[in-house]
Chain A
């Protein structure tokens, strides 16, 4: 039920994308879901066929019961009916019951199975889509929303076939044939017996839709309450420091009271409707009993016919009540499906021509030529303006500048996380947009700012880019990244679990891990995106020395705010507001006495800064631990 928790959670580029706002759009979504389900024709046939046979068998039961009552009456009256005929009816009833059970099982199982198969396909498509969508998409869409689409909306689509479509087929059979049988047997009594159907169908659908709306509001508020509690617990130190418990409880109470009110409302809607539906059904039953009784007395119908009418009604009652669930399932599938398909239908913004050739790195010369760039979300705010530089094999380019100067954007352009908006980036004279994306990404290793740890062992994390790597290769890379000693001293060494549920690493250790990841791949182009900030200067120097050895002929791009990180670069670009304002070697720039020099002065004597150490406490703690173990 919780699939439709957020009516407008996924706000992609247009706000109307959240829910299909017209009937036609809604039907379009439903039609698409049905197309997906009909990719499993046999199972669909079994489900719907099972539903139809089960409905017919179900309708036979009241008939047989009425028949049995009449038979006994006839035996009593001595109308030439033998007791053996009772046995026949009983046996028939048993067979019909068993068959009904069997066909219902077939119907339910295959309806579920179709849903699960569709869900399986959608899951894979969604996963692959998410992995391919560009960085700019992921920048704009909240990851939590994507997760809910992939979990809950997918669930809404999955449930559609069994709770919506097959049920609709079953109900149509039941009510259609049931009505026909009742009305042909006795028109007036049939009308009375069916009188509750339209009312209950209407109430149940209306109530379901109302409940759904109430549920959506409730979920939204529960989300707010959850966030408030979560924040309180995460920030409990702030709460205690400001002695703000009362303030926090007041906040909690306000939200909690509000959700309680919504719960009351929801209970109210539900109760009013279920009681009303039961009541209307019983009224109809009472009328059938009364009118039918008179007809029995008048000799128009038999007691058996009356019994079969009453039994019919009991059997019809439940499916008619479930009409609301069916309507709900349609409504849910159309909104959930709309959100899901919206993501699946997105174009990969970073496109490549189908026949784009693999990138073959020869000389390994990298050229930025008059590169302009603006993020797709803000196309009129240029981030980089006319950036040009050339780097040959083995060279290092340093990029520095104040926050917001566009440093990091440079790092994202080379592997085509984003595309340039003007100018071009070339490798060996070839525009990077003209080669196969995967081959480009393999040639460019980016040590990213926040290194994401996957929930697996340390060694698998290092080998993330090459999961076939040998243990020795991994250790070599982690030695180069100055991580080996630390890992060796962990109780489980390279098999230590890290990530969400594993050992937590300090900022510096995480950065060293991502350096090891890239060094292991030995790519011809390496980009450090401000990724040594949490590593102390001395360790960084050791890593640089190692790099000269293992990746000496790579082109290295270092983006940093600590000058000691890029002091030795062949060329340093000082960026400000997306433009290169100063360029040259470290000594040239110091001699220039401009912005670079000012930054250098701000950071203290640059030579002493070699020793600058910014490890955090956890680093110290871990290393101590490692030393003790060693």
Chain B
């Protein structure tokens, strides 16, 4: 239970901020935290606390898989790459051919969520394909 104590502040904050299906399992020196955050802001807040407790996440004693509640199909998402355009691929994986690009900071439509890493999207130009979910921020 040592790690539950180390990350107690974070776990308490997750509970208080309405993270759904929150689960913390400690096994072989690693704390596995799973759950569904009500918003991207809550997820960011939890990662800020993680960074405070374990600066730069170097201890390797926690795997925090807290997702943001799935946006409904048809919802809009903003392309939040650093500055480049976002590749749209034929399938979910960087080994898949690029079939289009979504412009930096443009708004795309979420068609469906393949998994936590890849979403099927459609641009306003009608291009459809898979994009890396990390660079997509659901609107609203």
Chains A and B come from one and the same complex: no
**A interface with B by C-beta (< 8 Å):** none
Please give the residue numbers on chain B whose beta carbons come within 8 Å of chain A beta carbons, in ascending order. Answer: none
